[in-house]
Amino acid sequence: MNDNTVHLHERVKKILYSLTGITLAENKDTMIANRLHKLRRDTRFNGDLEDLLDAIEKGSNTTEFINSFTTNKTHFFRECFHFEDLRDRILPTFAKSGQQIKMYCSASSTGEEPYSMAMTVMEARETLCRSLNATIIATDIDTNVLQYAANGVYRFSKSSKEFPSWIKPQKYFKRRVEKNLANEEILIKVKDELKKMITFKIMNLNDSSYPYNKNEFDVIFCRNVLIYFSVEDQNKILKKLFSHLKIGGTLYLGHSENPHDLINYVQRAGQNIFIKTKDIY
């Protein structure tokens, strides 16, 4: 890369960090170049890339910029053992007590994770033959993926291995037909009974505080998102999330993430499953 390109990419990283706290790795140059050119096309910006970044720094097209540079890789029942733990260990307790369970998905992306949480609740209701009052708040910083999640329409391959054996997709999705899809693919739409359980909201995990009460949630999913932040910022985010988790509540982290400074305030209950034992403050 020439010096101008290096400078351009460093500006992108600096702006992204200032807006979101996300730190881009050093090996993301091709991705940065591709997404920057796409951003200019999508916004129909007439100037050069430096002018585009000038405009973003002054407050123009910041949402489009954030949407362009956030990563949204996900699928239904990713790291399925977490949903099995939710089904087998947590939900029976709430079904027995009759108490409402409040859950938070801190990185909704296109919605597969919170819908997987909702399907797990529905399965537990049926298996336990009990009513189970559950609410899920699902947030993301990317407005495009939140809209996708709220729409709840997905491409589904009949040969897909996404859903575990204890989930029958036809119970939770309506089939929709669309021409020009590959033969093995169909469109599926989330049924309303799942949607009613979830509230989708825009939120930046790097914000100084979150709009929730202390000890509000019984379960927090924060999986495969911390890896996009520096270790220092991961700690800050985890401490903020932790303050909104009830004592006895469960924190689920992604496979390559750890609780850092929270380790003395949690009890490990499985692979990247942590039960809050006391408050930090």
User: Catalytic residue among 35, 40, 78, 223, which?
Assistant: 35
Structure tokens at 102: 């409040």
- Is residue 202 within 8 A of residue 146, CB to CB? The reply is yes
Nearest to 79 by CA among 198, 220, 253, 262: 253
Active site residue 142: no
Q: At what angle do helices 49-57 and 3-20 cross, to 10 degrees?
A: 20
223: left (phi over 0), alpha (psi -120 to 50) or beta: beta
Distance CA 149, CA 106 (A): 14
Contact, 95 vs 125, CB < 8 A?
yes
H helix runs in the chain, sequence order? 3-20, 29-43, 49-57, 62-69, 81-85, 91-97, 112-128, 143-151, 192-195, 231-243
Catalytic one among 11, 78, 87, 140? 140
The answer to whether the beta carbons of residues 130 and 99 sit under 8 Å apart is no
140 catalytically annotated: yes
Q: Active-site positions?
A: 35, 140
